[in-house]
Copies of this chain bind each other. A is one copy, B any other.
Amino acid sequence: MDARRDVFQAIADPTRRAILGMVANQPQNVNALAEKFDVSRQAVSLHVKILHECGLLTIRQQGRERYCEGRFDKLSEVAEWIEQYRKFWNSRLDSLEQYLNQIQTKTDKP
């Protein structure tokens, strides 16, 4: 179960995205994560392993527990890939900056 293993592939799985969401704010150990899913602890453990191999989370061993914490900078790879196409779906704006100004303006409007 180890072939092409990149960030794009890692985030393709919904369970892995959920895991990332859970370890974004504070570290969680593997069992704590596993309890939140319907799949077995082993399945979650494997997802964690994959995410770790991709550099999307770090693992801090503490006694017999392994605390997982999100490491999201690798997502910039995906973000950059997508950014180049933003102009195609948001044709009147051709940069993130302008896009941001747009939503900011919308939001600020009372």
Contacts and interface: CB of A to CB of B under 8 A. Distances in A.
A46 interface: no
Integer count of this chain's copies in the complex: 2
Interface in A59-80: 70-76, 78-79
Interface in A65-110: 70-76, 78-79, 81-83, 85-86, 88-90, 95-97, 99-101, 103-104, 107
Interface residues of A, number: 35
Looking at chain A's contact residues, the main secondary structure is helix
Contacts of A76: 89-90
19 contacts: A4-B14, A8-B17, A12-B12, A24-B88, A70-B88, A72-B85, A72-B89, A73-B89, A75-B82, A75-B86, A76-B89, A76-B90, A78-B78, A79-B83, A79-B86, A95-B96, A95-B97, A96-B96, A99-B104
Interface of A: 4, 8-9, 11-12, 14, 17, 20, 24, 70-76, 78-79, 81-83, 85-86, 88-90, 95-97, 99-101, 103-104, 107
